[in-house]
Every structure is written in structure tokens, then in C-alpha cells.
Structure 1
Amino acid sequence: MKLISPTQAVPTHIISGFLGAGKTTLLKHLLSQKPENEVWAVLMNEFGQIGVDQQMLPQTQGYEVKELLGGCLCCSSQLPMQIALSRLLSETKPNRLFIEPTGLGHPAQLLEQLTEPHWQQSIAMRALVTVVDGSRLHDRQWTEQNLYADQLKAAQIIVVSHADRMDFADEQALEILQTEYRAYAQTWLRSGQVDIALEQIDQPYIGTERKIQPLLKIQKTLLAGQTLPEIKQLPYHYVETTQGYSVAGWKLPKRWLFDFYPLLDLLCEQQNWLRIKGIFHTNQGWKTFNFNPQQFNYQSSEEGIDNRIEIIVQDQRDWQHFEDQLFQCQLNADNTDKTTQQI
């Protein structure tokens, strides 16, 4: 598909957030700050087939609002999104663009699409914004959903909406949340009776380097200089670096079963980390682990889609020893050998 590029790359903002967080309210306020001599455009994504949010935005001269209905532009086929965005840019020639994905979307996937080389002449990506409802931070059933965490992790700027309605429990939860995500060096803004100015979110996008690799056990068997195989399925190991921090992670097949107490001991024995977060299928049921330096939390959880763990540190490490110890916590260790041989 041929992209028609404007004469200058358009500053582009992704405004993400969970359902009901206040994305559209924030977007309306940002649009109200448009200079008279500029044209701004908005691409909105509704998961259903009937669009409502578009009717809530300004329909006056100087704005162009388009909706992409049905499904999620973050994780469905890229073609409808690329066509809609290309037409919006070529027909409107905006001075600034806002994209609001559905609250059920994974903004990191959308960001990955829009930072590909073929878009770089058309759009200048700005810091990804995630909106969270400050008045619901005390609700753990709300904040502990994987999608909620994914949206927070992808954000460079987090806007806490309804800050004027936060109670003591919400304030405590916000403090814990900020500590938990400290490694990502995010900017936190409050929106309540005091609204957000455009210049507060108009920051350059800072990319994150992520390397998805075979398990370290497999890498050890490769010959010197041999190219790492492409990873298309579980299990795999990844390292993500951002602003001086490293995140080491493992995603492992759902059928792998772990011995809960040796696993808990292993996680508690780790040293000099900033956060440990994981979900595992154990002989005590599915368990989530959410460790920060102040508190070690673990609890029973709903069935996950896989076993996974992330450890955030502020230095470089050799993770081979940890991976070996992790696999020793398996109760069905034979599956490891069989699965890894297939990669």
C-alpha cells in the first residue's frame, strides 16, 4: 500500500486507557487547546459496530474525526487501520493527530505498528499516554487485570483522572502503583478539577528495546557465532531495556506445572531487584506474584494463558543461573526438554 506523506511528519498522540477511565474526556480537553490556524485530526476505535464517542467530540471547523468500528486496531489486522490512517493524513493534512484505541486494546501493539519505518515520514510519534481512573485504584479486581497492567506498562505518561474524587485508599493504591512502575521512569499527571495542558503530554516518544530470544538453556547449546533462531511460539526468554533499567522475562507453556513452595523460595531468595511479577500454574493452583522491595504479595488467581515472570533490575546480569533454578521448580520437567527441542 502506497502511503501519501504530508510535507512534514505529523505529531501523533496515542491516548489509551481502560474502559471508562476518561480517555474521551481528556481528548476533548486537549482538542479545546487547538490554535485557530491549525487543523487537528482524531482516529477513534470502537470495539462495537455503533460509534458513540465521535458524537461527543467537536464537530466544528478545524477538526476531522474518523472512527474505525468493529474489533481492535491494536491487535486485529493492521490493514483497516493503515487504510483509515493513510486516508486521514492524505485527505485532511492535519497539523496534529490523536489516536484513541478501544479500552480493550493493547496500546503497545499499536505503538509497534506506528513506529515501523514506513510510517516515519508521515507521523512523528509522541509519548504514549494511558489514562487511569484514580477513583477506582482501590478496586483490586479492576487494577490487577492483565490488560490494565499492559496499558500501564506501555505508557510513557500516565494521567490519573478523577483525582478530585480519590479517597485515602485510592491515594495509598496510587503510591504503591507508582513504586511498582518506577523502573519505567514514567511521568504521572493528575486530572480532576485541574486539567491537563497539551504541553504536558507533548513529549518525544522514547522507544524501548526488546529482544525475544530462545531460552538461555537453548542458547547455551548453539555454536559460537550461530544466529539465534526466530521465536514463534512458547517457551521463550526476553530482555527489555528502557531508560537504564532491564526487564528479564520468561513466557512458558500453560501446561508446565510448578511446585509452589520451591518456586516461592526461589523468588524470595533473589537479590537487588526492583520488581518481580509473575503468574504460574502450580500444584497449589494458579498463583500470582507481585513483589516490590516493601512487600511480597502472592495469591491465588484465575487460570492464566501461560506461565510468565518478569524481573526488573538496574544493572546487567547473567540470567542463566536463575533460569536453571526456575526449571528445577517444575513438577513435569520432562516437558521442558521435549518442548525446547522443537524450537
Structure 2
Amino acid sequence: MKLIPAIKAVPTHIISGFLGAGKTTLLKYLLTQKPEHEVWAVLMNEFGQIGVDQHMLTQTEGYEVKELLGGCLCCSSQLPMQIALSRLISETQPDRLFIEPTGLGHPAQLLEQLTEPHWQQNIAMQALITVVDGSRLHDEAWSKQNLYTDQLKAAQIMIISHVDRMKSVDDQALYNLKNEYQAYQQTWLMSTQGEITLEQINLPYSGIKRKIQPLLHLQKKIAVGQSLPEIKQLPYHYVETAQGYSIAGWKLPKRWLFDFYPLLDLLCEQQNWLRIKGIFYTNQGWKTFNFNPSQFNYQSTEENIDNRIEIIVQDQRDWQLFEEQLFKCQLKSD
């Protein structure tokens, strides 16, 4: 009788980061740490049709590198990514896997795909890594982009690269960044040329629990004992929990218009919070709100795909009143 070996879930690391942050440099350094008896695999994603990154990694015995070209594996059709990844795992049978999405990708979407139940017997997801170019932290035009902040929020491990090029303004920006993301309890590492050890990043993935619900005023109309309907489109309310913090958020249709000054007053009147971040379509144009306890910032911004707000707190609270006050700031909904 032939024995079929048990399927072993492969420790898998996602290395994300904005364009030019140093993802491939980090990956090259990590690959030098492969034990001789192990096989490692790498799946790289480039947005264009001509692969370059794969050729920057020296092909040596003991690891396999594959590229997925043309589009972003984070947010394009999942099928090409699933085929490429399944083939890489089945053909290589690696002891460890690294995935490097394009710098234009949203790693949270990729993470969501790879933590689905059908992947769990093949993949043991590790803490998601985001690489940040420390020498550009002072550049607000770069650091305020939605894609950049999405990559930061998804990370459990933040690696600050190019620390040898950082100036005093970058050091201050890094201090501010750590304060801004303190609710997510991330691990921060510093690197000059990708010199990070495997032990530093070999941490299990710890997901943020998100509970998507109907708007709170709609929930009041649902009978006791009746299950909440499945939410598939805006508007909706959600609550995330991470490391003892609660993050309450609302996503609202793009067409909803808000009165700027009542909205600003409402946000400024909130008590006992750690962070307030929002993007709203107002009668003064699209506005971003980025509040921490020591500084209230708001400014004009480009058109967004929806209205949204998140408030981070350390305690439990009833968000019904806030939602009612928020909707009173609306000028129209259709």
C-alpha cells in the first residue's frame, strides 16, 4: 500500500510596499538565508507585460521564482493568481513561499484571498510585511496617497528602508507615523540594504476581525432574534477589533453630499478617541480629515470612490448617537 504524505501548509510571506521602496532588495537578502536542505519559492507580480524583477534574482538551486505579469494580483481577477500559485506550490513543493505584489497593489485584498478556507491546507500565512522608503517619509505628496496608506494599514511588520539616507525631517515623520498607527500594534524594523533576518519576520498572521453590518439606524428596525442581512453594497457600518482597540467605520455612497462646517464641528466634538480619519464629499468639495489628539488636520483632496470615516478607540461604546449626528450633516442622499 502506497502511503500518501500529509499536506503541509507552506509558511507564506507577502512583501508589499510602494514603488521603489526596496521590496526586491529585502527579498534578495532573505533568500540568502535559505537552509541548504530546504526549497523556497517566490511569486512576483509586475504591473507591466515585461518582467524585470525575476531577472534581478540570481537563479540558484534550492528556490524557484515565477512571475505573474500584466495587472495586479491583488485586485484583478483572482483566477490567474490562483492558477500560478497552485502550480508553483504543486510543482515546487516549497518549504517556504514569498509573494511580492506590484508596488501599485493593495495587499489587504491579496491577504483576504489567501486566507480563505480553501487555501488554509496549503498556505500558513505569516505576518504581512510593508516596506517603506524612509528617505521619502517627509514627502507629503507621496505619503498621503490612498494606496500608500492602504499598504501601511494592512501591515503587521513595517520595514523602514534606506535609513542611511534619512534626514531629520524623515526622522520626525517616522515618529509621527508610528504614533498614527499605534492602534495596529505593528512591529517596526529598520534596514539600510534589506538586511533583515528571517527570524524577525517569521511571525504568524494575526487577522483583524471586521464585522460588516447594516447602518445602525436600520438595525433598530430588525426584529429581535432576526439575523442581520448580508451586506453587499454601500452604505454600511463596520467594526474592527485589533489588539484591544476598536475601530468603527462607515462607508457611504459617493453621491451623498455633506455640509462641511457641521461635519467639521461634529468631528471636533468627539471625546476619548485615538484616531479619526475620513474622506467626505462636501459642499466645499472633497475633504480629508486626519485627526490625532494633538493635531486636527483637514484639507481638500481629489474625488474619492465613496464617503468613509474610521474612528479608533480603546473602549466599547454605543455608536448610534454618532451615526445619527453624522447623517444630520447630510445635505442630500440622492
TM-score range, shorter chain: over 0.9
* 2:317 alignment partner in structure 1: 317
Residue 214 (str. 1) matches residue 214 (str. 2): yes
Q: CA deviation at 1:229?
A: 1.3
Q: CA deviation at 1:6?
A: 6.9
Matched letter for residue 69 of structure 2: L
Q: CA deviation at 1:7?
A: 3.3
* 1:305 alignment partner in structure 2: 305
1:214 and 1:194, CA in 2 relative to 1: closer, same or farther beyond 3 A?
closer
> How far apart, CA to CA, are the structure 2 residues paired with 1:92 and 1:60?
14
Q: CA deviation at 1:127?
A: 0.4
* 2:178 alignment partner in structure 1: 178
SS in 1 for 2:308: strand
2:27–2:194 CA contact under 8 A, matched in 1: no
* 1:261 alignment partner in structure 2: 261
* 2:163 alignment partner in structure 1: 163
SS in 2 for 1:229: coil
* 1:192 alignment partner in structure 2: 192
Q: 1:99-248 to 2 correspondence within 5 Å?
A: 99-192=99-192, 195-248=195-248
Q: CA deviation at 1:84?
A: 0.7
* 2:65 alignment partner in structure 1: 65
2:132–2:160 CA contact under 8 A, matched in 1: yes
1:6–1:89 CA contact under 8 A, matched in 2: no
SS in 2 for 1:135: helix
2:273–2:312 CA contact under 8 A, matched in 1: yes
1:255 and 1:5, CA in 2 relative to 1: closer, same or farther beyond 3 A?
farther
1:6–1:122 CA contact under 8 A, matched in 2: no
> How far apart, CA to CA, are the structure 2 residues paired with 1:184 and 1:194?
23
Identity of matched residues, %: 81
Q: 1:84-99 to 2 correspondence within 5 Å?
A: 84-99=84-99
Matched letter for residue 268 of structure 1: C
SS in 2 for 1:29: helix
Q: CA deviation at 1:327?
A: 0.4
Q: Which runs of 5+ in 1 are unaligned?
A: 336-343
TM-score (norm 2): 0.97
SS in 2 for 1:30: helix
> How far apart, CA to CA, are the structure 1 residues paired with 2:261 and 2:210?
31
Q: CA deviation at 1:164?
A: 1.1
2:25–2:193 CA contact under 8 A, matched in 1: no
SS in 2 for 1:48: coil
1:81 and 1:298, CA in 2 relative to 1: closer, same or farther beyond 3 A?
same
SS in 2 for 1:261: helix
1:134–1:161 CA contact under 8 A, matched in 2: yes
1:5 and 1:296, CA in 2 relative to 1: closer, same or farther beyond 3 A?
farther
Q: CA deviation at 1:58?
A: 2.2
1:104 and 1:6, CA in 2 relative to 1: closer, same or farther beyond 3 A?
farther
1:5–1:89 CA contact under 8 A, matched in 2: no
SS in 2 for 1:250: strand
> How far apart, CA to CA, are the structure 2 residues paired with 1:275 and 1:14?
27
1:273–1:311 CA contact under 8 A, matched in 2: yes
Q: CA deviation at 1:202?
A: 0.5
Runs of 4+ residues over 2 Å off in structure 1: 4-7
1:175 and 1:5, CA in 2 relative to 1: closer, same or farther beyond 3 A?
farther
Matched letter for residue 136 of structure 1: R
Q: CA deviation at 1:193?
A: 5.7
> How far apart, CA to CA, are the structure 2 residues paired with 1:5 and 1:13?
24
1:5 and 1:252, CA in 2 relative to 1: closer, same or farther beyond 3 A?
farther
* 1:82 alignment partner in structure 2: 82
Q: CA deviation at 1:5?
A: 9.3
1:21–1:161 CA contact under 8 A, matched in 2: yes
* 1:340 alignment partner in structure 2: none
CA deviation vs aligned residue, 1:149-200 (integer Å, no higher than 9, x gap): 1110000000001011110111111111110100000001111168211110
> How far apart, CA to CA, are the structure 2 residues paired with 1:219 and 1:22?
46
CA deviation vs aligned residue, 1:227-250 (integer Å, no higher than 9, x gap): 111111111111111111111001
1:233 and 1:193, CA in 2 relative to 1: closer, same or farther beyond 3 A?
closer
